[in-house]
Amino acid sequence: AQRVTQPEKLLSVFKGAPVELKCNYSYSGSPELFWYVQYSRQRLQLLLRHISRESIKGFTADLNKGETSFHLKKPFAQEEDSAMYYCALGGGDKLIFGTGTRLQVFP
């Protein structure tokens, strides 16, 4: 079955601390993984995708096929990073989302 698991509902850190939002997936075949973000009062938007291997707003994510993970990391969190983060798996034409992790960054 195709599934995305985000074990943490809430992650709270202080500004400047490292952040790791966990994401594990279940998929037969070559997965396409994404991180979407929803800031307060804004719409859901793509943050990054594994095939791009890019860093957006200081965030990176590495696909680990052995551990079936796609954790999102940032070395130094900023207050403006506070948002809801969703890991998603590309299953054909559709996106399969995890339940999301709320990141709170305190000053």
Partner 1 sequence: EAGVTQFPSHSVIEKGQTVTLRCDPISGHDNLYWYRRVMGKEIKFLLHFVKESKQDESGMPNNRFLAERTGGTYSTLKVQPAELEDSGVYFCASSQVGSGRATDTQYFGPGTRLTVL
How far is residue 18's CA from residue 11's CA, in Å, rounded to a whole number?
A: 11
| Contact between 34 and partner 1 per CB under 8 A | yes
Shortest reach from residue 39's CB to partner 1, in Å: 12
Nearer to partner 1, 72 or 77 (CB): 72
Of 66, 85, 70, 84, which is closest to residue 23 (Cα–Cα)?
A: 70
- Residue 32 is a binding residue for partner 1 (CB under 8 A): yes
46 near partner 1 (CB under 8 A) = yes
Is residue 1 a contact residue for partner 1 (CB under 8 A)?
A: no
Q: Which is nearer to partner 1, 49 or 74 (CB)?
A: 49
